[in-house]
Structure 1
Amino acid sequence: MRKRRWTSAILMTVMSMAILAAAPAGAVPDDPGPAPGGRQQVEVFAEDGGIGRASVSPVSPYLADRPQALAADGAVTPLVQNGSTDTKLDVVVIGDGYTAAEQEKFRADAAAKWQEVSAVEPYATYRNLFNVWAVEAVSAQSGITGDPDRAAVRDTALGSYFWCEDIERLLCVDVKAVERYAAKAPQADLVLVVANSAKYGGAGYNDVQSPLGYEGIATVAGGNNRSGQIAVHETGHSLGKLADEYYYDGQGTYQGAEPAESNISTLTTDRMRRERAKWYRWLGRTSPDGGTVGAFVGGGYYPDGIFRPTENSIMRSLGREFNLPGREAMIAGFYRHATTITSTTPANSTLDSSGRLTVDLPVPGTTLRWYSDGRELTHLRGRTTIPLSSFGFAAGPRGIGYRLTAVATDPTPDVLDPALRPSLTGSLSWWVTG
């Protein structure tokens, strides 16, 4: 059964020029603005870490007219399986440019790309909240159009191609083809396309509205050991609901209302403290991306009139860490799809008091408390396997048994906002009879 949850866009695009005002040279002069009808806006990533935006077609001109299924087409392999799709965040990785004989290579590239993503905090700490599914899209030819140059054309399952919109590192894809393959996985919360190429590049489609529940697609080069950073940045949008912290020199001064995103603001540090708004709880703290949290001018594509929390987090340029407000938002995003506690024993089932019960706490440091009809069984605190005879009761008040509840809370210091704390607590209950 598919989770009825929403997930924003994942991962966006890559190009060979930077656009940040403070980034290396090669700036894009103007904000592309909203994509015109039928087209979609994507982010563009430079090899030097700079990020920009472009408007692209969702249809690939290189998607060949061929049978929808080749030998072994669409087979699904679990690369990481930590539990049920109802309790985990499910990442679907689809390969393109891999022939039937290269599917083992695809799975290896997909696993390596997930390792790149999950090595970055807070993914590293929360990696047990994820399932990762590899979907085999079999291509007629090996490789990707546009690699090594514009003249190279390949017949592939998803029609991926470099030189999209004349940007060499922008790796576009056919959105409907991706949708067909993503539907083969048990659940899709995040979708990543891994291309059979060592050329640095990628793309992300944040305007996709999928009936499967995800709202975006990202593409990366499977054989490039730096392209995983593209995926990390894009999940800042999809999971963290974070804004971009980069800006365009020619964009002028922001004149709008206070942005909804948690990592950009029109407020100075003094106003944040006075109004107890945005990232005021983090002000002055040392951030993992370097320096201390404050209010740095420029963000959300505007060089003035808006502030970002730190000088240069991964939401501003690649190769960086999430800043403290960003890390908090990411953890909250993980818990929109995953839970703090799971068990192989179905919740709300009836158990005999002569048996035992085991629960799993996927995140290190999670606290666990047990309750019998609302009364805490303090002697069981922190124990993940308990004998049901620990109640010391043969039957409930009316001889029908007791309701046993396990409550797990993630006490992470990386989430300070009280409004986000409830999502860090989960519970499971069962009936226990004598």
Structure 2
Amino acid sequence: MHPTIRRTLCGAVTAACAAAALLTAGPGAAAATAAEGPPPAPATARVKVEIPGPEHGTDAGSGYTRVPLSGQAKSAARLSEAERAADGDVTKMIDNGSTADRLDVVVIGDGYTAAELDRFHADARQKWAEVAAVEPYTTYQNLFNVWTVDAVSNDSGVTGDPDRGAVRDTALGSYFWCEDIERLLCVDQPKVDAYVAKAPAADLVIVLANSAKYGGAGYNEPSATLGYEGISTASAGNAKSGQVAIHETGHSLGKLADEYFYPGVPDYEKYTGPEPAESNSSTLTADRMARERTKWYRWLGEESPDGGVVGAYEGGGYYVTGLYRPTDNSIMRVLGKPFSLPGTEAMIAGFARHATFVTPLTPTDRTLRPWHTAKASVPRLADAYGRQPEVRWYLDGRELKRFRGRTEVRVAELWLLDLRTHKLTVTAEDRTTAVRDPLIARTLRTSAAWSVRL
């Protein structure tokens, strides 16, 4: 999700940042250097992942490292005939419409035996409830479909839990102690993709490990073959791991930068590079941002749900100085916090890339006559103040105000007076105050149209 690969952390660090240095040392650092040369052979291919922050710390993450694409690349033992029959089953856990018009989340479990699949489904419902409890997911939850894919493992639990010596034979090869970092929970990505491919569509993937141990990872590089924005791994039985997954969607869906930083780490004391592409990171002070009318200038001075007011707080993107973030402690810096106002806007923009506000229920590929009815589906918002998308109807571009708010109109109600073919259009628009950027606001308006005549 980031336009450049940040340099590997190196050198001595202070006690408070000792964990951060560990994350990017050793094999991960070597892989980052190798990535600048010829592409590695498939057997040694590595991918960039975000490391979650320490369980008892405040940082949401601990930077990035590169891990083996295929994890520990161990071959799974054979499944029995009964286990094979259950393996790969797909269930639409939450159904809010067609995959073409909704953001499709695929949840896959690892370390669940055939006898434990009911527990996986319960864990998936619980973990999605944790996500849906955080704004703006709460308001826009009806824009999502959630699919579960059953992955049957031979062993219960995952490798590295409860300790480094524990080895489990699982469908997705999940393991703690990835790159020698206990809380980094990695997977065999090709195996994950094989299960993702079984779902009808995938915009976002969550892998739930059958574990209560704290950990997770953010695979935030979009899939060129399956189309999903990223993979978040999390422990099903650990509440803080759920917060890690939500933070990772800030990268994959919201295209947001990390807002934490590393005091005392060489090369990360001051940022001197170009203006970052991410909407929540800038080299500009609040005054200069306002003058240049860029980044989050529309939100400056507003009270933010994560506490305090929107401004330009120095420190972010791993650097202590030279980069500014919108608020002091959003979820992009501290787990358990809400998204900031600019972060919320970015997440809504991410939702709108995959979901629409109008789905035609009446086919649009034929001409409707007076005995037909044009029908459309408009998702309801779970807005605390009752706000809903504004629905309007137009005939040849002129609004039919008497039909405002309706989701179906009979052609006979149009009072057509000639034999010409006319165009009937319905639009639904979310006019939320959580979006101030007009470019994003335009993505919150969807239309469907039919040809109609006497």
Higher fraction of helix: 2
Matches within 5 A, 1:161-180: 161-180=175-194
Partner of 2:68: 57
Q: Provide Cα deviations, 1:101-159, integer angstroms capped at 9, x if missing partner.
A: 21111111111111111110000000111111101111111111111112221111001
- In 2, the alpha carbon distance for the partners of 1:252 and 1:214 equals 34
Question: Does the 8 Å contact 2:257/2:280 carry over to 1?
Answer: yes
Partner of 1:4: none
Partner of 1:271: 288
Task: Give how far 1:390 is off.
Answer: 1.6
Question: Does the 8 Å contact 1:64/1:156 carry over to 2?
Answer: no
1:292 matches 2:299: no
Tell me which moved more, 187-196 or 146-155: 146-155
Task: Give how far 1:360 is off.
Answer: 2.2
Task: Give how far 1:208 is off.
Answer: 5.7
- In 1, the alpha carbon distance for the partners of 2:433 and 2:365 equals 32
Matches within 5 A, 1:244-283: 244-249=258-263, 250=265, 251-283=268-300
1:197 counterpart (200, 207, 211): 211
Matched residue SS, 1:350? coil
Partner of 2:7: none
Task: Give how far 1:333 is off.
Answer: 0.8
Task: Give how far 1:353 is off.
Answer: 1.9
Question: Does the 8 Å contact 1:42/1:204 carry over to 2?
Answer: yes
Matches within 5 A, 1:270-419: 270-364=287-381, 365-393=388-416, 396=418, 399-419=419-439
Unmatched tracts of structure 1, length 5 or more: 1-7, 10-19
Q: In structure 1, what residue type is equivalent to 2:55?
A: E
Unmatched tracts of structure 2, length 5 or more: 3-12, 36-44, 382-387
Question: Does the 8 Å contact 1:31/1:248 carry over to 2?
Answer: no
Question: Does the 8 Å contact 1:348/1:429 carry over to 2?
Answer: no
1:420 matches 2:440: yes
Q: Provide Cα deviations, 1:355-399, integer angstroms capped at 9, x if missing partner.
A: 3333222143211110111121111011123333220125x5xx2
Matched residue SS, 1:218? strand
Q: In structure 2, what residue type is equivalent to 1:260?
A: A
Q: In structure 2, what residue type is equivalent to 1:190?
A: L
- In 2, the alpha carbon distance for the partners of 1:76 and 1:375 equals 45
Partner of 2:144: 130
- In 1, the alpha carbon distance for the partners of 2:201 and 2:162 equals 34
Q: Provide Cα deviations, 1:314-356, integer angstroms capped at 9, x if missing partner.
A: 1112111110111001101100111011132233433232233
Matched residue SS, 2:344? helix
Partner of 1:43: 50
Question: Does the 8 Å contact 2:149/2:196 carry over to 1?
Answer: yes
Task: Give how far 1:27 is off.
Answer: 4.7
Matched residue SS, 1:28? helix
Q: Provide Cα deviations, 1:1-28, integer angstroms capped at 9, x if missing partner.
A: xxxxxxx59xxxxxxxxxx99x977652
Q: In structure 1, what residue type is equivalent to 2:244?
A: I
Partner of 1:231: 245
Task: Give how far 1:44 is off.
Answer: 1.8
Change (3 A) 1:87 1:226: same
- In 2, the alpha carbon distance for the partners of 1:383 and 1:64 equals 56
Give the number of equivalent residue pairs. 413
1:84 matches 2:105: no
Task: Give how far 1:263 is off.
Answer: 0.3
1:430 matches 2:450: yes
- In 1, the alpha carbon distance for the partners of 2:334 and 2:192 equals 27
Matched residue SS, 1:133? strand
- In 2, the alpha carbon distance for the partners of 1:374 and 1:428 equals 13
Matches within 5 A, 1:135-150: 135-150=149-164
Question: Does the 8 Å contact 2:136/2:348 carry over to 1?
Answer: yes
- In 1, the alpha carbon distance for the partners of 2:184 and 2:46 equals 15
Question: Does the 8 Å contact 1:62/1:161 carry over to 2?
Answer: no
Percent of aligned positions with the same letter in both sequences? 56
- In 1, the alpha carbon distance for the partners of 2:197 and 2:321 equals 43
Task: Give how far 1:296 is off.
Answer: 0.3
Task: Give how far 1:228 is off.
Answer: 1.6
Tell me which moved more, 211-220 or 266-275: 211-220
Q: In structure 1, what residue type is equivalent to 2:101?
A: T
Change (3 A) 1:290 1:349: farther
TM-score (normalised: structure 1)? 0.90
Q: In structure 2, what residue type is equivalent to 1:385?
A: E
Matched residue SS, 2:104? strand
Change (3 A) 1:137 1:115: same
- In 2, the alpha carbon distance for the partners of 1:225 and 1:356 equals 48
Q: Provide Cα deviations, 1:73-93, integer angstroms capped at 9, x if missing partner.
A: 111000111111111111111
1:115 matches 2:129: yes
Q: In structure 1, what residue type is equivalent to 2:303?
A: T
- In 1, the alpha carbon distance for the partners of 2:371 and 2:229 equals 47
